[in-house]
Amino acid sequence: MVSDLKKLTQRPEYTQKFNSMSGRHGWLRLTPAYSLKIVEEILNQDAMAERVLDPFCGTGTTALGSITRGFDAVTTDINPFLVWLTTAKTRHYSQEEVDDTLMAGAYALDLVENAVCCADPPPIYQIERWWGPANLGFLCCLRSAIDMASQGTASSDLLKIAFCRTLIRLSNAAFNHQSMSFKQSQPMLPLDTNPADTFRQDYEHVCDGAAERIRGNSRAYVYDARELCQETLGTFDLVITSPPYANRMSYIRELRPYMYWLGYLVEPQDAGEMDWVAIGGTWGIATSRLNDWQPYYGFEHPHLSDVSEAMRASKNKNGALLANYVLKYFDDIFGHFRSLRSVVRPGGRVHYIVGNSTFYGTVLATQNIYADIMREIGFDDVEVRAIRKRNSKKELFEYAVSSTARG
Ligand SMILES: C[S@@+](CC[C@H](N)C(=O)[O-])C[C@H]1O[C@@H](n2cnc3c(N)ncnc32)[C@H](O)[C@@H]1O
């Protein structure tokens, strides 16, 4: 294994970068999205499957990849914005709906030009860091113009996705770190770029994707993956997913501009509350609550005990808090796997794409704990395969942990 790991490279084709050129997959970017290529390779390998589940949907890579190939898919996420996005990405659009959206986009720009309507800016903290006055004014008018111009769910959803693309392109957000941060200067668009042209390009791009034909059907649900239930979801013969990693990545942090503009976040404390119910979340209140956290599912594992002890013993002032973070992460993941067992048919295959972590010099071998949990809850033929190096840190890798549900 060690010599294999030494040969592994970062393989950008196994990251979300691969998705940006793949039609609807490229509509909105999320740094921790995984690659369509990974999903396609697994679908090729398990081509006899009928129903595919992704319990950690994110931007819907699994669901969209599956239905494009004619599989039926169900996907769940705790974040309602991502479920809305995935529902829109996986819908079948008629040519009439696409044409209506193109007309509604043009009409929305007319409304903006004629200053017919204007929404208030969303309550984003230090909003002036995100957008200069002119672009912010444009976005406020465009946001309400889209509501006035679009008729029906299809064109409303497509224009809102285009709006999300535009708001990021007009912003000072940069993606050169693990997730979103701010650029030092103004937006990277050429100086003479008109915001209306940016939105026009974006809705035309989204409409091109909507016009693509897909074969299978998908349903996306707002759902807690620790409580998967056969009665509501049915059973599956293939699970392909990328759960949150134990790395303190906050999806809410990266998604907050979209979520505020579209009304999924309203009060400043909403973000922390949503991250607290998400597995692995640590935004705002979700971090301080870790101090009082108590195990819920009672998960224990020798490697986890060793790592959490080492974290507590480290000289870092956050060592004890982050030890609780890691313990809670695995308690939640164990809760997820326990509920997963009831929705996977005997002989069904599951594939988890997950990264390991380091805390204060101690490596947390998440992939091995996943493998042990799978064995414990009733999966056989457990295989752990390293697929890529994560970044410049030599210890960080991404793994596929795969297994078969016992009969
Ligand atoms: C690594 S991301 C998935 C990315 C996805 N594969 C993609 O390509 O976009 C993990 C997802 O798990 C979701 N999540 C976190 N806790 C959850 C829970 N308790 N139940 C369901 N989803 C959850 C997060 O909101 C996030 O979208």
Question: Which helix (H) or strand (E) covers residue 103, if one does?
Answer: helix 95-113
Give the pLDDT of residue 315: 86
What is the CA(241)–ligand 1 centre distance, in A? 9
Residue 187: pLDDT above 70?
no
What pLDDT was estimated at residue 188?
A: 55
Question: For the chain, what percent of residues have pLDDT higher than 90?
Answer: 78
Query: How remote is the CA of residue 103 from the centroid of ligand 1, in Å?
Result: 34
Q: Quote the ligand 1 centre to 242 CA distance (angstroms).
A: 7
Q: Which atom of ligand 1 is nearest to the CA of 61?
A: 8
pLDDT at 308 over 80: yes
* Dihedral over Cα of 259, 32, 271, 167: its sign: negative
Percent of the chain residues topping a pLDDT of 70: 95
Structure tokens belonging to residue 1: 């294994």
Question: Over 50: is that where the pLDDT of 1 sits?
Answer: no
Q: What is the crossing angle of helices 133-149 and 195-210, to 10°?
A: 40
How many angstroms separate the alpha carbon of residue 95 from the centre of ligand 1?
32
Q: Which atom of ligand 1 is nearest to the CA of 225?
A: 20
From the list 45, 85, 86, 100, the residue with the least C-alpha distance to 69 is 45
| Mean pLDDT score, 35-48 | 95
Residue nearest to atom 22 of ligand 1 (CA): 77
Please identify, by atom number, the ligand 1 atom nearest to the C-alpha of residue 34: 8
Q: Among 199-208, 247-256, 342-351, 372-381, which stretch is predicted with the lowest mean pLDDT?
A: 247-256
Q: Are 350 and 405 in contact (CB under 8 A)?
A: yes
Q: What is the mean pLDDT of residues 392-401?
A: 89
Q: Which atom of ligand 1 is nearest to the CA of 19?
A: 8
340 Cα: distance to centroid of ligand 1 (angstroms): 15
Q: Domain map of the chain by residue range?
A: 2-82+214-405, 95-210
**Is the pTM above the cut of 0.85?**
yes
Measured CA to CA, the distance from residue 173 to residue 300 in angstroms comes to 40
Average pLDDT, the chain: 92
Per-residue model confidence as pLDDT tens digits over 264-292: 999 988 988 999 999 999 888 888 899 99
| Ligand 1, residues at Cβ distance < 6 Å | 30, 32-34, 56, 58-59, 61, 76-79, 82, 224-226, 242-244, 251, 278-279
Predicted pLDDT of residue 179:
54
Q: What is the pLDDT of residue 20?
A: 81
pLDDT digits (tens, 9 = 90+) for 116-145: 989 999 999 999 999 999 999 999 999 999
Average pLDDT of the residues in 155-163: 98
Q: Which CATH architecture has domain 2-82+214-405?
A: 3-Layer(aba) Sandwich (3.40)
Find the 77 Cα to ligand 1 centroid distance in Å: 6
DSSP bridge partners of 404 = 349, 380
Which comes out higher in pLDDT, residue 397 or 315?
A: 397
**pLDDT value at position 2?**
45
Q: What is the reported pLDDT for 190?
A: 54
Q: What's the pLDDT score for residue 21?
A: 80
**Does residue 183 carry a pLDDT above 70?**
no
pLDDT computed for residue 185 by the predictor: 56
Give the residue with greater pLDDT, 189 vs 103.
Answer: 103
Q: Which of the pair, 293 or 182, is modelled with greater confidence? A: 293
Among 56, 252, 276, 332, residue to substitute to test ligand 1 (most atoms within 8 Å of Cβ): 56
What distance in Å separates the CA atoms of residue 407 and residue 337, rounded to the nearest whole number? 17
Condensed to tens digits (0 to 9), the pLDDT of residues 76-123 reads 999 999 999 999 999 999 999 999 999 999 999 999 999 898 999 999
**How far, in Å, from the CA of 253 to the mean position of ligand 1?**
13
**Residue among 78, 328, 366 whose CB has most ligand 1 atoms within 8 A, to mutate:** 78
166, 206 Cβ separation under 8 angstroms: no
For residues 326 and 304, is the Cβ–Cβ distance under 8 A?
yes
What distance in angstroms lies between residue 244's CA and the mean position of ligand 1's atoms? Answer: 6
DSSP assignment of 122-179 equals P--TTHHHH--HHHHHHHHHHHHHHHHH--SHHHHHHHHHHHHHHHHHTS-EE-SSSS
Q: Quick count: other Cβ atoms within 10 Å of Cβ 141?
A: 22
Q: What is residue 230's predicted lDDT score, i.e. its pLDDT?
A: 97
Question: Residue 376 carries which side chain, given as an amino acid letter?
Answer: E
Query: Given this model, what pLDDT does residue 180 score?
Result: 63
